[in-house]
Amino acid sequence: MTTTLILIGSGILIGAGISVIWRDVMRNRRKPAFVLQRDLPAADGAREEVEITISPGKARKPGYADLMSLVSGEPSQPEKSAAATADPPSPEREAMGAVEQQWSNLEPVISAGVAQVNTILSAAILTLGAQGKASWSYKNRGYGAYRRLLMGEESLGWVRIELAQDGTLLVDIKAHKDAWASINGKASAPAEGITRTAVSDLLSGCLKPAAARAVQSAGNGEAHVATAGDAPWQDVDALIAAALRAANGALSQTGAKLRALAPAEWDPLLRRHRMTLAVEVDAAEVARMQIERLPHEMEVAVGVRDTQMLGLGRRRRIPIEGMTIHSLAELIAGCAWPAIARFRDVQGGEPALQRAPLFPSKD
């Protein structure tokens, strides 16, 4: 009986103590729950008045540090923000940021080059798809984007165009299937100062195997294309050879000559035959000439390397039907003549045929 009464009394006391502590916490009291007379200020019992100012700013929510302060009784320290604790940018991160910015500057030029090469690829039923989101490649080797290589609606592979950290523009073609592994290829060029034409040339060179394979897959096998292309060229081969002899005979009076650099070759991208010649004056090459066999026309084009002579380039066509040795020779010599005459003028020579036609009419 005595033990029971003691336990009941202890329980009452414990409950009373807990209720007092709970009440003190709920009221957020700033002084201890129990204050003894000896703890009061001895000098002056007057209560000090304290002015409390509340900042109009946003109140700070209590954090983990405040909770630990209540437990330990020590003042809390403000928590540091993530920005304050973040490490300063590293040189590697700064270099990567510079590459990303350079890629952003190059994107309009790359897009223009892709559009230009798509015009050429359309003859081979190929296109480069829209650009994906730019990202870093494996081990941050380069920053760039992927495009699909499409044949009609079918995706043949991925074309990765990226800017390496050393300033090189890279092109990497990877087929989806092993059966198309022959189209895989890589190419590169310095990115600084690159133009859309240079981007187009870079892509065209890398895509030639894919163009040839696409033509073959479309039902015009590579051997068949060559055979089908050789017949039209063979029809005009003798006429072109005779026209070149006639043109060289007339140009020899000024020390000029057209020299074939290689036999006519089939270009799978343009799907036509092309012969390349050097335009020489006194054994010095002043321009390049290309003679191409189109379905119903012959095209003669002359380009110069000297930027000060770009206006001397020529591109002319003549219908194959009714074409004669005389008319083709006149066209070939007429396209080459501006570059030849300009070179002779610069060298101080006097072109004998500067004002006279190279091939007087037979009438």
At position 360, the amino acid (one-letter code) is P
Is pLDDT of 53 > 60?
no
Domain with 245, as residue range(s), is 222-347
- The span from the CA of 10 to the CA of 265, in Å, is 110
Q: Which of 217, 237, 272 is the last residue of a domain?
A: 217
Q: Which of 182, 217, 252 is the last residue of a domain?
A: 217
**Better-predicted residue by pLDDT, 129 or 342:** 129
Statement to judge: residues 240 and 201 lie in one domain = no
Statement to judge: residues 256 and 342 lie in one domain = yes
**Residue 329 CB contacts under 8 Å (≥ 6 apart), including other chains:** 242, 243, 244, 246, 247, 250, 359
Q: What's the domain count of the chain?
A: 2
Statement to judge: residues 130 and 238 lie in one domain = no
Statement to judge: residues 284 and 335 lie in one domain = yes
Is pLDDT of 36 > 80?
no
Q: Which of 217, 245, 271 is the last residue of a domain?
A: 217
Q: Could you report the per-residue pLDDT of 247-286, keeping only the tens digit for each?
A: 888 888 888 999 998 888 887 777 788 899 999 988 888 8
Statement to judge: residues 266 and 334 lie in one domain = yes
- Would residue 109 count as lying in a domain? yes
Statement to judge: residues 113 and 134 lie in one domain = yes
- Would residue 275 count as lying in a domain? yes
Q: Which residue has the tokens 């219908």?
A: 319
- The span from the CA of 42 to the CA of 185, in Å, is 93
**Better-predicted residue by pLDDT, 43 or 116:** 116
Least reliable range by pLDDT among 80-89, 207-216, 233-242, 331-340: 80-89
- Would residue 84 count as lying in a domain? no
- Would residue 337 count as lying in a domain? yes
User: What pLDDT, on the 0 to 100 scale, is given for residue 228?
Assistant: 41
- The span from the CA of 260 to the CA of 253, in Å, is 19
Statement to judge: residues 228 and 343 lie in one domain = yes
The two tokens of residue 4 are: 């029971």
Statement to judge: residues 230 and 342 lie in one domain = yes
